[in-house]
Structures are given as structure tokens and as C-alpha cells.
Amino acid sequence: MRGSLSGGKAMDRRIVLGAAVLAGADASLRLDCGVLIEGARIVAVGPNAQLTAHAGDAEILDARDLILCPGWVNAHHHAYGLLAHGIPIAGDAPRGFDRFLSDLWWPRVEDRLDGSMIEAAMAVSCADMIRSGFTAFCDVLEAPLAGTGVLDLEARAVERAGLRAALCLEASERHGAEVGRQALWENERFARERGRDGLVRGMQCLHTSFTCSEGFVRAAKESAARAGCDLHLHLSESAYEPKECLRRHGVRPVHWYDQLGFWDETVLASQVVAVTDDEIARLAERRVRIAHMPLSNCEVGGGIAPIPQMIERGLEPGLGTDGYINDPFEVMRGAFLLHKGAARDASVMPARTVLGMATAWGARAIGFPEAGALAPGHPADLIGIDDAPGTPLTADNVADQLVLFRGRGDVKLTIVAGRVLFRNGVVETMDEGAVRAAARLEVARLWAGRGRGG
């Protein structure tokens, strides 16, 4: 950004002057335009000169070297995952997705997490997301033994940071029905208490068809209906789940859940890699929301999700990091490139589509349909990205410019609900050094075996 604030009083009115505004993936590029914000919402998008002429007592933020666009939405995240980045284990990692979970991830990570590890990881993750231009996310905490109140600890960290989020605790019967039901109850309580108006909301959440029985899935569905909240699950992340589901129930996962009356537009299914055309058709028919994780699907050897086929059927997948490589630009490039390679067709997944997945589609997927676009009446969740090098910015190349030729270091401004979270290289809502130091201590505790069960 060129300058600092000028004029400033009236904290509830702010003008952000931009080099250009891209209001959404389908919008046209508007050069020399900016955004007028009142409180938490956008009230106008228009030429900088016009906004300045009617500024009155509004605070003016001069970002005329930045492209303003909707913030990125991380449609599926595990903040706790950063405690296990580059897992410090001796010897070879277990082979296969199921062995990876049962021999390593569950006993060494998920089952050892406690409240202070979880809160510290969330705080650092929020700092990283703010710097990367994420303005909203859906987080799935996988910590079955961490006890009650952990979502409140996460919410505290997210609220301090200032991001928009849907939070949930993954429930399964992996540690027995009682532990699973407690997690369902925890989600229900949290979702009820949070309601549907705040920046941080709750969601019901179950794991998979191989860790949840029919009765448990029904209970999760009923609980979500009681709380009036959305419902998340991991679906067919690799060939393992369909194989297990066929063995146990004689049908593939999408059809098994369908028999239980599970699917509708309140359900967010993440991963969705090992699915057939028939399953995609059913998901589309039921208007299920999808979160796509191009990078982590490769990490676990799960395969490449048939995202172009889903889009063709009318599904609108968001994009997520899965707590793995938490960089929106790398994830967008993964989505842009992988499907072209898999289909041997350079026309699939154009940059505009990827941009939509990372913004409006992602916002709808995680239950904030009002976010993801810069327009009057919408939440003021926006980012500013360096307009500097490269070919001249045009309506035709702006999506490519943002998705392919910028990186997280080019994000210079992050605003959520009208509040500036990041500018001039500083995350303004937290003491970032202290937050990172606290997380380093928690990582050390986890790997010294001093968490739960340690």
C-alpha cells in the first residue's frame, strides 16, 4: 500500500481506494475503483474519484497499488494439522491411507491433542490465513479425547484474530459410541449458542462410513436439524472407503448415506475423490455442498477428485487446504493444473472457475452465502493484492494474474467484516510473535508425548 490512513474519524465508515476492483469471479474488472464500507458491510463499489468526492468523514485507506477482490475462503481446514507438519517420526511412514490413520495419525496426533495445543494451533493458523488472504474458513477439529469446551477455545482464538469461520469437532465411534455422542452433543451445543448471525458459527460433523454406524449417522443428522446448523463429513477420500462400504453395507458410500436420508443442501462433503458418475449425479440431485482439496488428496495417494464432472452436473465445489499446505495460491494452482493433466485437456478448470471456487462457491459451501463477492449489502470481506509486475491488467487476464502469477507475499491487505486485520506487513489483531512462540511450545509438548494419554 502506498500510504497510511488519512482523514480518519468515524470508524464505521471506510473507503478503500484500489488500483482495480474485481467484485467476484464472474464480475468485470473495474480499473481505478474502490469500495465504501459502513460498519461490517459494503455500501458501494465505484470509481475512486467519486468515492473520495463524497467521503465526508469516512476514513480513507489508499490502496491504489492493489487489486481489490473478495477474500479467499478455505472450505476445509484442520488448524491443528500444523502441529504435525513434517511429522517427526523415525523410519518409514505407514503405507496406505487406512494404515496412515490407524498406525500414525490417530494415536500419535489426534488422540493426544488437548485444549492448549488446539487453541495455540488455531491462533497461529489464523495469523497464516490472514497473511495469505483467507477471510473465511471451515475448520474440522479431530480430537476425540480433548474433552468438552474445545470449540470455545478455538472460537476465542478466531474471534481475537477477526476471521469468519464455521467450527466443528469431528464425531465418530472410533473410541466407542459414548465418546462419539459426546462430540455430537458438543457440536450441537456450540452451534446453538453461536446461532447464525455471528462471525464464528458452529456446524455438526461426523467422520466417515467406516467409523460411524447407521444409528450414529442418523443421530448426527437429527442433531443438526435440532440445532438448525449445517453438517460436515469426509467422503471417499481414497478407494478405501468405497471398498469398506461395499463390504459392510453392499453399496457405495453416497448411496448408503442416501438410504439414510442424509443428503440435502445443508450437508458439506469434503474430499469426494473416489466417487462414480452415478454417485456424482446423486450428490448433484441432492444439492450437496462440496469442498475440494487438490493437494492433500495427492498427499495421501487418494487420487484426483472428478471436479470438472461435478461442475458439469451443477455442483459448486469450494477449495480447501485440509490443514496440509495452507497456501491459497498453491491450492488454486493445484486445482487449475491437476485436472488439466488428468483430463489431458487444457480447457478444463479455467482460472475464472478456480477463482469462483476460492471465493463465492467456497463461501456458500461453508454456510456463509452472503460472503464471497464485493457488492452493496455484502459483508466487507476483501483483500488487496499487489498490482505490480507482469503484463498489464485486463478484464481478460485478471483471473490468470491472480490465480497463477501472484503468491501469498503479494497479499498486502486483509479486511473482514469491515475490520482491517492485516496491512503494511503487520497482522494488527494479535501479537504474532507471542502467538508463534506459544505454538512452538505446544508442538514440543505434543511430540514429547505430553498431551492426552501421554
**Are residues 376 and 44 in contact, defined by beta-carbon separation less than 8 angstroms?**
yes
d(CA 7, CA 11): 11
Q: Of 393, 417, 362, which is closest to residue 20 (Cα–Cα)?
A: 393
Smallest distance, Zn ion to C-beta of residue 407, A: 24
- Of 274 and 417, the one with the shorter C-beta distance to Zn ion is 274
Q: Strand 164-169's sheet: what is its strand order?
A: 72-77, 134-141, 164-169, 200-202
Nearest residue to the partner Zn ion, using Cβ: 322
Smallest distance, Zn ion to C-beta of residue 423, A: 31
- Of 170 and 381, the one with the shorter C-beta distance to Zn ion is 170
d(CA 136, CA 121): 17
Kindly report the number of other CB atoms within 10 A of residue 14's CB atom. Answer: 24
Q: String of b and e for 250-278 (b: at least 16 CB within 10 Å)?
A: eebbbbbbbeeebbeebbbbbbbbbbeee
- Of 194 and 232, the one with the shorter C-beta distance to Zn ion is 232
- Of 238 and 401, the one with the shorter C-beta distance to Zn ion is 238
Smallest distance, Zn ion to C-beta of residue 77, A: 8
Q: Contact residues for Zn ion (CB under 5 A)?
A: 322
Smallest distance, Zn ion to C-beta of residue 210, A: 15
- The C-alpha cell at 56 is 465526508
- Of 270 and 401, the one with the shorter C-beta distance to Zn ion is 270
- Of 69 and 121, the one with the shorter C-beta distance to Zn ion is 121
Phi and psi of 245, rounded to 5°? -65, -40
- Of 293 and 382, the one with the shorter C-beta distance to Zn ion is 293
**Are residues 70 and 374 in contact, defined by beta-carbon separation less than 8 angstroms?**
yes
- Of 154 and 400, the one with the shorter C-beta distance to Zn ion is 154
**Are residues 70 and 35 in contact, defined by beta-carbon separation less than 8 angstroms?**
no
DSSP secondary structure of 177-215:
HHHHHHHHHHHHHHHHHHTTTSSEEE-EEE--TTTS-HH
Phi and psi of 123, rounded to 5°? -65, -45
Q: To which residue does cell 480447501 refer?
A: 320
Smallest distance, Zn ion to C-beta of residue 270, A: 6
Smallest distance, Zn ion to C-beta of residue 197, A: 27
Smallest distance, Zn ion to C-beta of residue 322, A: 5
Q: Of 167, 176, 188, 102, which is closest to residue 145 (Cα–Cα)?
A: 176
Smallest distance, Zn ion to C-beta of residue 291, A: 8
- Of 105 and 422, the one with the shorter C-beta distance to Zn ion is 105
d(CA 143, CA 100): 16
Smallest distance, Zn ion to C-beta of residue 271, A: 7
Q: Of 10, 1, 2, 21, which is closest to residue 55 (Cα–Cα)?
A: 10
d(CA 284, CA 12): 41
d(CA 428, CA 123): 13
- Of 59 and 110, the one with the shorter C-beta distance to Zn ion is 110
Q: Beta 411-416 vs 382-386: how paired, if at all? A: antiparallel
Smallest distance, Zn ion to C-beta of residue 140, A: 6
- The C-alpha cell at 388 is 505490480
Smallest distance, Zn ion to C-beta of residue 139, A: 10
- Of 241 and 322, the one with the shorter C-beta distance to Zn ion is 322
- The C-alpha cell at 390 is 507482469
- The C-alpha cell at 188 is 450441537
d(CA 377, CA 370): 9
**Are residues 49 and 60 in contact, defined by beta-carbon separation less than 8 angstroms?**
no
Smallest distance, Zn ion to C-beta of residue 234, A: 6
Q: Give the amino acid at 409.
A: G
- Of 271 and 401, the one with the shorter C-beta distance to Zn ion is 271
